[in-house]
Amino acid sequence: MPLQINHRLLPLLALAGLSLAGAAVGVASEPTANSYDEQAPLSAVAQLGKKLFFDPSLSGNGQMSCASCHDPANHYAPANGLAVQLGGLHLDQPGIRAVPSLAYKTSTPSFSIGEESAADEAAEASPMTEASGVALANAPASVAGPLTAQAVKADAAAANLVPRGGMFWDGRIDSLEEQALQPMISPFEMANADVATVYAKLKKGYGKDISALFGNNILNDQNMMISEIGFALARYQIEEPSFHPYTSKYDYYLRGKAVLTDMEARGLKLFDDANKGNCASCHLDKMTGDGQMPNFTDFEFEALGAPRNPAIPANADAHYYDTGICGPLRNDTYSAQQQNCGLFKTPTLRNVATRHVFFHNGVYRTLEDVTRFYVKRDINPEEIYPKDASGKVVKYDDLPPQYRANIDIIDAPMNRKLGDAPALSDAEIADVVAFLRTLSDGYDPAKDSVKAAR
């Protein structure tokens, strides 16, 4: 039984999300060394959400909390190098996808199918991403509401209509509220038997706090209590600055408070160049005219053809495939449409250098290998994919053959063919990686100034 969300709350959630929209999407305010010490105190609802986030008693085994996979010390991503995390009643059940970071999720729009973002269209015509496109991607989003009203019917089929938004790699959940609750009943995560079990634990452990905030009547309404708990977890993520601090070197650079090294500057140029890295076509990297910082994602979905990862236990079954929007975790109208199979949401690149595994299946462990994948995938596929018994390279081996037409072969650097020159040399790959390392939060310009003075 799925967790029930009381949608009577959604208008209230939307208003609550908008009240902090500026903080959530990164208005370019000046950070200080003790920004967190100076922050406004969390609201009572967010304080409850914080307690819930760190409470392992809410899991089936009493040993796993939200923070177990979303470690604050690692920008709310896993601290270990496992391709998939272990959960379940005995902490021995592997997941099927790499766990995304919860940082910078507050500006994620609800899932929709609509026209390609203005930023992507601009990137196809120019090496630089237009600010107007970034503005669309950075528009304030509520906790539960859609970013735009341009969603179309699920059966719409046109070249310029693309999936966008939603939580998780497949976009199956629309709000922070719902996203925070789903792991509680996942058999390979917190592994509670059902919603009633979660309700009983909340009533026993948090009844006094919940009734003080939401009234005594809520204690006897399972659906309403579950909704309010999701709301509290969402409020914690919105109000707690460490979920979206915007304190990377690149943020300081955009504010005119830091200078990139020659290597980092070359990497940024390659990142933006539509004929080289072309990363900015999906990972938007420019400030908007009203001072909002970039999210480093357009929230859209791509089929990239990452190689199959044998480290995921589910992949031991040769007939098993993770097809993103098409399942196995999503089951709706969109998942039944063949053009969506193999598509996964574009993640933010913020704090990407602190991640231990990359792509939805955690197949790569270094930024160098990730960048090299984009460069080599089509010109040297033998370096990316395995070979069959006859020695033939099995290209796009982690997607059934009938869906491989969905894989992007149009956008640089994935528009190359066998025998073409690589879009990036090894030295240029190193430059791009140097730039990606400027996206890690916690940069201290004072320390950099001391180094430069020596």
* pLDDT (tens digit per residue) in 47-66: 999 999 999 999 999 999 99
Give per-residue pLDDT as tens, 365-399.
999 999 999 999 999 999 999 999 999 999 999 99
User: Do 149 and 141 touch, CB atoms closer than 8 A?
Assistant: no
Share of the chain above pLDDT 70, in %: 81
- Predicted local distance difference test score (pLDDT) of residue 119: 52
Q: What's the pLDDT at 156?
A: 39
The residue among 210 and 14 whose pLDDT is bigger is: 210
User: Mean per-residue pLDDT for 11-34?
Assistant: 40
Q: Higher model confidence: residue 109 or residue 141?
A: 109
Q: What is the pLDDT of residues 76-107, one digit of tens each?
A: 999 999 999 999 999 999 999 999 999 999 99
So what's the pLDDT on residue 116? 77
Question: Once rounded to an integer, what is the mean pLDDT over residues 220-236?
Answer: 96
pLDDT at position 134, please? 32
* Mean pLDDT on 225-254: 97
Split at pLDDT 50, 70, 90, the class of 31 is low
Rounded average pLDDT over 418-446: 97
User: Quick one: pLDDT at residue 391?
Assistant: 96
Instruction: Kindly tell me if the per-residue pLDDT of 145 is higher than 70.
Output: no
In the chain, pLDDT over 90 holds for what percent of residues?
A: 78
Provide the mean pLDDT of the chain.
86
How far is Cα of residue 52 from the mean position of the Cα atoms in its chain? 21
Residue 448 pLDDT level (bands cut at 50, 70, 90)? confident
Q: What's the pLDDT at 291? A: 87
